[in-house]
Chain A
Amino acid sequence: MLLWLLPPVAWFSVFILVPYAMLFWYSLGHTEDMRFVPGLSLANFARVFTDEPYLGVILKSARIGLMTAILSAIVAWPLAFVIAFHTRSASVKFALYLLVIVPWWASYLVKAYAWKTILGTNGILNATLQGLGFTDEPVRLFLYNEFSVVLTLTYIFTPFAVLSIYAQLERIPTSLVEAAKNLGAGGWEIFWRIVLPISVPGIIAGGIITFSLAFGDFVAPVLVGGSDSVMISNIVINLLGVAFDWPMAAAIGLVIITLGLGLISLTGWLEEKTKVRL
């Protein structure tokens, strides 16, 4: 037993527990002339909740994460549904599955950058709108705001949402659909009363990961976000790279780690709560 357990436990102690402990040590101190001064003060944690813009940005990042998770689930559902329920041939199913996976593995940066090309003032969308005569001047609304950040993140995470919803839908036995039809239920009734409720665990499993990844994203805000769409990871980077305020960055990190642990527990609870035993 020790043979199997010792290496991973050692690894995670050295590379997670020790660094987190150090983070804690840093968070208790402060900086003077860009140099770290050890201390035993909780002032930095208080600042997370009182000073601008920390708490506000954390909440905004959470909002963006939540919208991304919800939107990508909504966009993903019909495609997952078609693969799981409307594709009879195994090879067509496999082909559709590949079509979903390819954009998921295509480079993250490239995908964010693609939306910049599309939404920009000289982008495809504006060129098309002007070409069609809908507008004379480029529409600036598309890019550099929260909408473009959420759209880009939704685009990035939709394939993942498709995969996790599909995994759940595929497990639904055909006989459930047949039983419902046999009892006189129409398509919408089967959707609302049976298939959608059973797909909820898949939506949640994918949604939690999507939420977390979108919450901590710093690429989209820089590439397609505006001056007001800074997210928490951008703040942390600035604290380290520009302000050299290590203790503050460490405090924010610890607050987020605590939130993350809470999220893991919430996930377990939600999974138990919505579990459908097929």
Chain B
Amino acid sequence: MTTGIELRDLRKRYEGHGGAGSWAVDGVDMQIGRGQFVTLLGPSGCGKTTTLRMIAGFEVPTSGQILRDGVDITDQPVTDREMRMVFQDFALFPNMTVAENVAFGLKTRRMKGRFGAAEMRRRVGEYLDLVHLGTHADKRPHQLSGGQKQRVSLARALITDPDVVLFDEPLGSLDAHLRKVMQIELIRLHRELNKTFIYVTHDQDEAMAMSDAIAVMNGGKVQQFGTPREIYDRPTSRYVAGFIGHAHIVEASVVESGASGLSVRLGNGEVVRLDAPASLQRGEAVGLMLRAEDLSLAKPGDGELHGKVSDSLYRGEYIEYVVDLKGGAGTVHVHEPTHAAPFAHGDDVALKVNPAKAHVVGGA
């Protein structure tokens, strides 16, 4: 028996007017181990929220199964699932105080008798302290800031001690600074509480920073499911390579491939060597993924690729150069330290490629 949440060929179709319809979720298979922090990442409309809402029980799958610790819960009513959800709009009850909001899950009929009044008070206090809101217990939701509201929502979800906590873009309505603070908070809570977190976001930085595993979704399908490092360094498709990080894909064809590495030739005839072992056909068309931080600029003749600087952008931490490759083979971005000798618009440059990090993705 597998522990945790398992999705088996999960599908959801929305019917439109006059027979038109579309698959919001189109065959998702996924294993989420107990205690993991898993993020569903993708642009809006990719099916990530629908998937989460099916797990929570708000949407009924068109087909497929949802299992929890090996038990089919596809048809279990929401009320019985005991997976708590943190909403993007916080969904705090406006007619209750902060403490009453947090206590809500303990006071439902199904929980009746499990906690005495004193125990309940103690527990509410404990969970408010956990999210640093001990002094705000008697306030109303409208008196709180966005970050505080989200903490209340968190405490409310956590207080009944669920195995699984679901997050629907919980930081989406917060400003950039508050988002960073709350990310650290969420990582801490995940570490301390040892619960399964299933998290939906369109923000890749957030996903990379917090998750044990990321499912990159697009068009209702999971494009790649793996650790942040796998997703970043070894994307399996052009879509994932392009979606994550500052990567540019240059068309190339395989020169030779084997256990010792791989060589590809660009459209302009220049050849790049990669360390990663591969078994590709000679002449096969591939996309060469070049990330800005895996490239460095040098004087012409000092690197395997050549091009011309078209723009330079001062970013504070680094300078970002936009370089047009020789012979119209493509455009790449390069991050250079700010203390390096600067290049200007129109300069001819050479590019060195880090052979350990460069990566190819299949197909034209």
Chain A: residues with CB nearer than 8 A to chain B? 173, 175-176, 178-186, 189, 193-194, 197-198, 276-278
Contacts and interface: CB of A to CB of B under 8 A. Distances in A.
B109 A198 contact: no
A189 B109 contact: yes
A179 B87 contact: yes
A183 B102 CA distance: 10
B104 A180 contact: yes
A175 B156 CA distance: 14
B81 to A, nearest CB: 8
Nearest to A175: B91
B84 A198 contact: no
B142 A185 contact: no
B58 interface: yes
Contacts of A185: 79, 104, 108-109
A175 B83 CA distance: 15
B91 A276 contact: no
B91 A173 contact: yes
Q: Which of A175, A194, A198 has most chain B Cβ within 10 Å?
A: A175
B84 A183 contact: yes
B196 to A, nearest CB: 15
Interface in B91-125: 91-96, 104-105, 108-111
A186 B94 contact: no
B3 to A, nearest CB: 22
A186 B95 contact: no
B85 interface: yes
B160 A183 contact: yes
A183 B95 contact: no
B85 A179 contact: yes
B140 interface: yes
22 contacts: A175-B89, A175-B91, A179-B87, A179-B92, A180-B93, A181-B78, A182-B56, A182-B85, A183-B108, A183-B156, A183-B157, A184-B79, A184-B80, A184-B105, A184-B110, A185-B79, A186-B108, A186-B109, A186-B110, A197-B95, A277-B140, A277-B141
A182 B84 contact: yes
Interface residues of B, number: 30
B85 A184 contact: no
Given A175-B87, A189-B108, A182 B78 contact: yes
Nearest to A274: B95
B126 interface: no
A183 B104 contact: yes
Contacts of B85: 178-179, 182
Contacts of B160: 183-184
Contact of A184 (B58, B93, B111): B111
Nearest to A196: B95
Nearest to A276: B94
A53 to B, nearest CB: 43
Given A277-B140, A277-B142, A186 B79 contact: yes
B82 A178 contact: no
A193 B92 CA distance: 13
Contacts of B94: 198, 276-278
Contacts of A184: 79-80, 82, 105, 108, 110-111, 160
Contacts of B82: 184
Contacts of A182: 56, 58, 78, 81, 83-85
A1 to B, nearest CB: 33
Given A178-B85, A193-B104, 9 more contacts: A173-B89, A178-B78, A182-B78, A184-B108, A184-B111, A185-B108, A185-B109, A186-B110, A194-B93
